[in-house]
Structure 1
Amino acid sequence: MRFGRKSSTTPDPADPAGPEETAQVQATTRTGPFDADEVPDDGVARVDLGSMLVAPVPGSELRLQVDERTQQVQSVLLAGAEGAVELRAFAAPRNGDLWSEIRPQLAADMARRGGTATEREGRFGPELVCQLTVKTPDGRTGQQPSRIVGINGSRWLLRATFLGKPAVDEEMAASWEDALTKVAVRRGDHAMPVGDPLPVTLPEEARRVGSDTPGQTPDQDSDRES
């Protein structure tokens, strides 16, 4: 995903700021998700998790979803009191549209599990609004809403699944969507099959980030259904 800059340094007569000031404003007002090589100097502190650089959200916890069978990290979760967003990054073709290819697969999988998936246009383009009947811990059945967003990048796809109120409440969703715009994806130069998940890691320095501030330390958590 690339973001254009002015190709000329000639001052714009209608712009009272000079070319350097204009470029600086453009760099700090661009919106993501970003490629890791093109993150603007926006002052945002992001936790380096290998394939993703994620900015913790005040009032939420940054967790890693681990597959108990393989002990491999599957996704990153920003979880708050009333909802969450799950982040996964995948290898994608350089100039392709992997999100358009996998949306029908996700919808079919939701139907196979007894749920529904409705496509609509959202802030980031086409997205899926889903409902799935699940069993609650007390043995009852209930509806689990979710909203799946996909962003095609430079040889990567970032998939975000909004859970709980951020999936159904547009006003509440805005702050969670803003958090998504601060994510950066590091694809790497190595060859990978299209659709393979990009590896998520927890380096030592990430463990120490915000260790004195609640909600900013990545915690490992077991895998859960989204």
Structure 2
Amino acid sequence: MFGFGRGRGKRADEVVDESAAEDVPESGPFDESEAPQDEVERLDLGSVRLPVPEGGQLQVEVDPAGPVRAVHVVTPVGRLTVSAFAAPRSDGLWREVSGELAEQLRKDGARVHTEDGDWGAELVADSPKAALRFIGVDGPRWLLRGVAAGPAETAEECAKLLYAVLEETIVVRGTDPMPVRTPLPIQLPEAILRHIQQAQQAQGNGQAAQ
């Protein structure tokens, strides 16, 4: 569980050191160097630390070779995916990426348009499979991309949930040089990794018994 719209106001009972808070942005996504010292519970995935909405369930895509491709959060109103990529020091990667993404979506038969959001242009697509919204945030040497996917009737609720998650997300870029657009590595917590390994082992045993 996490608070929606963190930083848009302070509780009356909060005592805040304004001098210490001057360098901390009011809302995210946050770079690791400016991460807030708050009580928000975040799932640590190595390159990103993100809150999981109440009732959300994790869905992990694992490459057969081993690396984790993506981590999705499945909610009652749709699926959220937050990913981080290496970017140049100059801003503007999202504009380039979103243009290419829009072109590909149209080729796949989706109707695509852009909307102005808190972090700039957002892509909204209606495809045969789902209503999609893509949000990009250019940060210091990273690009954070959020995707909301779900039924058209819950698209607005799903988008609001994605905004709330992005506002609380922390990006851990690291110092290693990486080619632009390279996905920042995802590292699963030990407990989740064990659960996946056990599930894969059970599936393998089941297939061997057939």
Residue 104 of structure 2 is aligned to residue 118 of structure 1: no
1:30 to 3, 26, 30: 26
Q: Give yes or no for the alignment of 1:185 onto 2:181.
A: no
Q: CA shift at 1:199, angstroms?
A: 0.6
Identical-pair percentage: 35
Counterpart in the other structure of 2:187:
201
User: Cα 1:55–1:95, aligned 2, differ >3 Å: closer, same or farther?
Assistant: same
Letter in structure 1 aligned against 2:145: R
Say if 1:166 and 1:176, in contact at 8 Å, map to a contact too: no
Quickly say closer, same or farther: Cα 1:182–1:166, change in 2 above 3 A.
Answer: farther
| 1:172 to 1:115, Cα distance in 2 relative to 1, 3 A | closer
- SS of residue paired to 2:128: strand
CA gap 1:104/1:173 in 2 versus in 1, 3 angstroms: closer
User: Which one-letter code corresponds to 2:80 in the other structure?
Assistant: V
Size of the aligned set, in residue pairs, is 184
Query: Secondary structure, in 3 states, of the residue corresponding to 1:133?
Result: coil
State the one-letter code of the partner of 2:177.
A
Q: How does 1:1-226 map to 2 (within 5 A)?
A: 21-23=17-19, 30-67=26-63, 69-134=64-129, 144-164=130-150, 169-171=155-157, 173-204=159-190, 207=192
Deviation at 1:41, TM superposition (A): 0.8
Contact kept in structure 1, 2:141 and 2:173, CA below 8 Å: yes
Separation of aligned partners in 2, 1:95 and 1:182: 23
Secondary structure, aligned partner of 2:90: coil
> Quick check: 2:28–2:168 contact (8 Å CA) kept in 1?
yes
* Displacement of 1:113: 1.2
The alpha carbon displacement at 1:65 in A equals 2.4
What displacement does 1:21 show? Answer: 2.4
Measured after TM superposition, the shift of residue 79 of structure 1 is 1.2
Please tell me whether the aligned partners of residues 124 and 132 of structure 2 are also in contact (alpha carbons under 8 angstroms): yes
Report the CA distance shift for 1:174/1:66 in structure 2 as closer, same or farther (over 3 A). Answer: same
Change (3 A) 1:32 1:102: same
Give the alignment's Cα RMSD to 1 decimal: 2.9
Matched residue type, 1:83: G
Deviations 1:200-219 (A, max 9, x none): 01132x649xxxxxxxxx97
Instruction: Tell me the distance in 2 between the aligned counterparts of 1:52 and 1:30.
Output: 18
TM-score (norm 1): 0.71
Q: Which blocks of at least 5 consecutive residues in structure 2 are unaligned?
A: 1-15, 200-210
Q: Per the alignment, in what secondary structure is the counterpart of residue 31 of structure 1?
A: coil
CA distance in 2, matches of 1:82, 1:45: 21
Q: Structure 2 vs 1, CA of residues 167 and 190 (structure 1 numbering), >3 Å: closer, same or farther?
A: farther
Deviation (angstroms), 1:25: 5.7
Superposition TM-score, scaled by structure 2 size: 0.76
147-156 or 119-128, which deviates more? 119-128
TM-aligned CA deviation for residue 61 of structure 1? 1.3
Kindly indicate which of the two structures has a greater share of residues assigned to helix: 2
SS state at 1:114 partner: coil
C-alpha deviation, 1:56, in angstroms:
1.6
